[in-house]
Amino acid sequence: MKLETQVNLASRTTLGVGGNAAHFARIETEAELREGLAWANARGLAVRVLGGGSNIVVADAGFAGLVLEIALRGTEVTRDGAQVRVRAAAGEPWDDFVAAMVAQGYQGLECLSGIPGRVGATPIQNVGAYGQDVSETITHVATFDTAHSAVRTFSNEECGFSYRDSFFKSRQPGRFIVTQVTFQLAATAAPAVRYAELERAFAAQRKTSPTLAEAREMVLALRGAKSMLLDAADPNSRSCGSFFVNPVLSPEQFSAFVVRAQDEGSIPQFPQAGGRVKLSAGWLIEHAGFPRGTRDGAVGLSTKHALALVAHAGARAADIAQLAQRIRQGVHERFGIQLEPEPVFWGF
């Protein structure tokens, strides 16, 4: 394991803000992972895991412990009739992996195209978009248990998946480091076109039976139109993507919300199991007085998507945190709803 000190983290995140990691190591094997954890444990240092850097906000003071960049690579495909089992190492770039699966005609991930980051992060967040979640196709998640210095593999059920959540994120955060994810895909199925925006886009083209490749390209086009792709030429793309989780309300909470929002016209709402209702965080933000393009010094909202906080030239992590708090407070005061950030905050 090659250990470095005072390594810049801003350049390793999509927001491009934050200070240095006091200690840093790029992990390419599970042996190096064990070595890095043992080194930090012997010195009483906290450990953070870095993937593609698309879902973290690093404090301006940086992080005083050890940052492990998970760079485990490799995929293994096993086909059994119409079913395809794919094992992917945690360090595989997510969109490259999705593109490869689509190119081979394997269905199950096509609507998750264009999402930055790496494979290992997807089960933690239960990454989803355009009507698809990784929980639909993940069968097993291999991890390293930092509490017991042992390997542990989780079944889909043991992962405790729910909307943008998992066992790893909310019940045992930081304890398990993902090393490999196994997916079960379909070799002969049609793409999952079941999201209203995606359906409308294909309807406008009069395309009733799109291919997997066409579904991927359409998702990329839709994400690009919202500046939700990594693009150095797009001033809106220096972000974490969606900064807040769409809130899911109980029937009682939704009734109270409707009363407070009765003057706002049509409200986007998405029925969930158990009578719960999912709302659009972007809609809440805009209707709480933060329109797209809102600026607060060197930070602001995307001009195309109110759910994305953008770091412009000269932005600091503190500026991002301050705007996020203003938005949360504004939405809570207007609608009585507490928005929860999607990215993880390091060093705050």
Q: Which residues are catalytic?
A: 164, 242, 342
User: Helix H segments across 142-211?
Assistant: 196-204
Q: What backbone phi and psi angles, to 5 degrees, belong to 172?
A: -135, 60
Side-chain-side CA neighbours of residue 221 (13 Å): 10
Q: Are 322 and 252 a contacting pair, CB within 8 Å? A: no
Compute the distance between CA of residue 195 and CA of residue 180 in angstroms, rounded to an integer: 29
Q: Are 154 and 167 a contacting pair, CB within 8 Å? A: yes
Compute the distance between CA of residue 180 and CA of residue 53 in angstroms, rounded to an integer: 18
CB atoms < 10 A from the CB of 254, how many?
19
Compute the distance between CA of residue 320 and CA of residue 317 in angstroms, rounded to an integer: 5
Using CB atoms within 10 A of its CB, is residue 310 exposed (0-12), middle (13-18) or buried (19+)? buried
Residue 318 in tokens: 């503190």
- Distance, first Cα to last Cα, the chain: 28
Q: What backbone phi and psi angles, to 5 degrees, belong to 85?
A: -100, 125
